[in-house]
Amino acid sequence: MPKQNDREVVPLDTGQPPAGDAPEERRSGPEIIAGYLKSLPAAPGVYRMLNADGDVIYVGKAHSLKARVSNYARLGGHTSRIARMIASTASMEFVTVRTEAEALLLEANLIKRFRPRFNVVMRDDKSFPYILIARDHDAPRILKHRGARNKKGDYFGPFASAGAVNRTIAMLQRVFLLRTCSDSEYESRTRPCMLWQIKRCSGPCTGEIGPEEYDRLVDEASRFLRGESQSVREKYQQLMSEAAEKLEFERAADYRNRLWALAHVTADQSINATGIEEADVFAAHQDGGQTCIQVFFFRTGQNWGNRAYFPKADRSLDADEILASFIAQFYDDKPVPRLILTSHDLTERELMAEALSTKADRKVEIATPRRGPKTDLVAHATANAREALLRRMAETASQTELMHAVAERFGLARPPRRIEVYDNSHISGTDAVGAMIVAGPEGYAKNQYRKFNIKSDKLTPGDDYAMMREVLTRRFKRLAAETGAAAVDADLPLAASLPLDAEHRLAPGDEISSADIDDAVDLASVPDRPDLVLVDGGAGQLAVAREVMAQIGIEGITLIGVAKGPDRDAGREHFHIPGEARPRMLEPRDPVLYFIQRLRDEAHRFAIGTHRAKRAKGLTANPLDEIAGIGPTRRRALLRHFGSAKAVSRAGIEDLKAVAGISAEMAQKIYDHFHEKPD
C-alpha cells in the first residue's frame, strides 16, 4: 500500500474504466472519463491520466476527486492544452488521501516519477551538495556530501553547486585546519602530509595536535557554519592580540591569516541578506514561451549560491502556476527552510505552506514581499532569472542554427536532435575506458553522458578498433532492447515525427502552429535514439561502427568518422562518410567545423577524465580490501601495527597473529594472499 508522510493512501482504481456499452477504442476521452464518475468519492486525492499506450500524461490533485473529474467530462469550455489532454486519455487511476495537503505532496512525487507531458516538470532534480563534518571517527573530518543524509555528523547547506562547497571547504581548511583525508588514509599515516606542511590541516593523524584541541577546532567550525561567525572572529582577534603582547609574532600572524580567511568566506556574498537566517528565494521570468526559475539559498544569514532551472511547461501556463508546481516538486526530496520568498503570489499559497509544514514537521512560511528589504532579494533573483533566460534563448538560437547547418553539410533529412560522440582512452591498453557524450538542440546533455569500462579480457592491449566495437555494441544493444531497432526513420519530415499519438493528432482542417512544433521538439529535445553518431577516428573506426549497426539491425542513424588531419592539426579534420570514396573536409572557418571540434574535444575530455579517475582509484586501492574477512576494524589494526599495507605483505604468520583481532586462521589467510604457495 503506498504511503505519503507515514499516512495511508488508498488506491481506488487500477486504470481500467468501468464497463460501458461501447468498446473502449470507440469512445472519446470525455466519455471514458465520465465512466469513472459513479465510483469516485467527494474526497481529496490524486488522479493520473493515461494514454492508449499506458503512459501517464497528466497527474493532478483535487479537494474533491468527483468534482474535478466531472469538469474533464464536460464537452467544450477547455483550453487547447486541456482539450488535447482529455482527447489523449484512455484510462485513469486514482488515489485518495486524508487531506488536500497530502494530495499536493503526493502529486509532486508522482510528477517527478512519471514526468507527464502535460504537467510542469522540473527538469533538473539533482541533489544539492552539503558540507558535512563527519563525526563517525575520533578525529572528525570535513567533506562535501550528496545524497541521503545517513552518515553521523553535522550537515550544512544546501549549496547551489559543488564549486561553492569546494571553495568554502578550502577556505575553512585555512581557518580551522580540519582534516579532509579518508579514514583509511588517516589510519595509515606515519608522518604529516603536505596539507599539514602548508598549514591546511592540524595533523591529528600523527599527533601534531592533541584530541582536545582538535575537538575545539571542530566545534569552532560548526559554530561558524551555524552562523556564529562573529563570536568565532572575536575569539581569534583576542588570541591574536594576546600572542602579539607576548611577542609571539609567528602565532599572531597565524591567527591574522585565519581572520583573513574568515573575512573572505563571509564577504563572498552577492546579496545582502540582513535579517534573514534561513530562506529560499524563488523568482520566475517568462519570455518567448519559456520560463526560467532562479533559486537562491540563504542559510545562517549567508548567501550559499543560486541555480537557474528551466522547467518543461505548456506555453499557455502563467508564471505563478509554473512556480507553484515547481516548488512542490523541488521540495519532494530536499529539506524545507522556514521561509520561502516568491516573486509571484501563489494561487494556493496557504495549502502549499500547510503541505510543506507537514513535510518539515514545523511551521513553514511562504511570502511574496511587497516592501522592505526582502523585496530587494526577490528583485535580485528576478533579475538573475531574466538574464539567465536571455542567455539560454541566445544559446538555443545559436545551437539551432548549428544543427540546421550540420544537417545541410552532411545531407541529413532534418536537423539532428541527438548527436552522440564516442572516444576511448587508455595507456598501452591498461585501465581502458570508452566514453559517450551527447549534444542536442540546447547544447551538451551531460546527464546522458555514459562511460564504459572495457570488460573483454580477449582484447589485444591498445586495440582501439576492438574497444570501439565493444563500446558501440553495448550501447546499441541496449538501445535496441529498450526502444526496438525499428525506431522512427531519420528521413521522416519533422511534422510526421511530432510526438503525438493517434488521439492527439490534429483534426482535418486544423493547422500545425509554430507553438505545436516547438512543444513537440521540446518534448523530445534529446531523444533516446541518436540521429547522428560521430566516432573519433578514420575509416577503420567508421567500418567498425557500420559493422556493429548491421549486426544489431539498427538503421536510419548517420555515422561519421572524424579523423585528425595531416600532422593532427585542428582545422584540417577529415570526415569519413559511408558511401563516399574519399574523406570530406570543411572550410577552415566553417562554424560547423568549430562545432564538431568542440564535440570531439568534449568527448576527449570526458574520456581522459574517466580514465584518470579509474587509474587513480587503482593506485589508491588498498590491497587489504581484497582479502575476505578484512573489514575496517581489522584493516585499521593491521595498519596501526605495521604502518603500511606493504609492511603487512612482508610480515610472517607469527607477526600477523600478534595483531589484536587477527586469529591464526586469519593470519594464514593474509599470508597466503601475499605469498604464492609452492606447487
Alpha helices for 331-415 (secondary structure H): 349-360, 373-410
pTM as predicted: 0.65
Chain segment 218-255, per-residue pLDDT in tens:
988 888 777 666 666 677 777 778 777 778 777 677 76
List the Cα angle 637/640/646 in 5-degree steps: 100
Tell me the domain boundaries of the chain: 3-114, 278-391, 411-617, 623-674
CATH of 411-617, one of 3.90.600.10, 3.30.1370.60, 3.30.420.340, 2.60.120.1130: 3.30.420.340
- The pLDDT of residue 339 is 93
Average pLDDT score over residue span 326-334: 88
DSSP state of 461: T
Cell 483535487 belongs to residue: 62
Cα Dmax for the chain: 98
Closest by Cα among 144, 171, 141, 147 to 156: 144
| DSSP secondary structure letters along 605-637 | HHHHHHHHHHHHHHHH--GGGGSTT--HHHHHH
Output the nine-digit C-alpha cell for 548: 556493429
Bridge-based pairing of strands 278-287 and 339-342 is parallel
Average pLDDT, the chain: 80
Chain segment 61-106, per-residue pLDDT in tens:
999 999 999 999 887 788 888 999 999 999 999 999 999 999 999 9
Question: Which long-range contacts link 38-41 to residues 24+ away (Cβ below 8 Å)?
Answer: 39/12, 39/13, 40/12, 40/65, 40/66, 40/69, 40/94, 41/12, 41/65, 41/66, 41/96
pLDDT of residue 490 exceeding 60:
no
Q: What confidence category does residue 38 fall into, taking pLDDT thresholds of 50, 70 and 90? A: confident
Please provide the size of the chain in residues: 679
- The pLDDT of residue 464 is 82
Domains 3-114 and 278-391 share a fold: no
Q: Does residue 438 contact residue 419 with C-beta atoms inside 8 Å?
A: yes
Average pLDDT score over residue span 597-624: 77
Torsion of CA 377, 382, 383, 389, to 10 degrees: 150
Bridge-based pairing of strands 91-96 and 45-50 is antiparallel
Output the nine-digit C-alpha cell for 514: 509554430
Fold entry, domain 278-391: Nucleotidyltransferase; domain 5 (3.30.420)
- The pLDDT of residue 619 is 53
pLDDT of residue 154 exceeding 50:
yes
For residue 319, give the 3-state DSSP assignment: helix
- The pLDDT of residue 486 is 39
Fold entry, domain 3-114: GIY-YIG endonuclease (3.40.1440)
Q: Which of 248-252, 427-431, 637-641 has the lowest mean pLDDT?
A: 427-431
Q: Which of 127-136, 167-176, 202-211 has the lowest mean pLDDT?
A: 167-176
Q: Does residue 337 contact residue 278 with C-beta atoms inside 8 Å?
A: yes
- The pLDDT of residue 263 is 63
Supply the CATH classification number for the domain 623-674.
1.10.150.20
**625 CB contacts (<8 Å, ≥6 apart)?**
635
Q: Does residue 465 contact residue 540 with C-beta atoms inside 8 Å?
A: yes
- The pLDDT of residue 45 is 93
Q: Does residue 307 contact residue 160 with C-beta atoms inside 8 Å?
A: yes
Distance of CA 334 to the CA centre of its chain: 14
Closest by Cα among 568, 535, 549 to 465: 535
Chain segment 334-379, per-residue pLDDT in tens:
889 999 999 999 988 999 999 999 988 999 999 999 888 889 889 9
Chain segment 562-608, per-residue pLDDT in tens:
988 665 555 678 899 888 888 888 888 888 888 888 898 898 888 88
Closest by Cα among 135, 221, 220 to 183: 135
Chain segment 530-568, per-residue pLDDT in tens:
999 999 888 888 999 999 999 988 888 999 999 886 655
- The pLDDT of residue 365 is 94
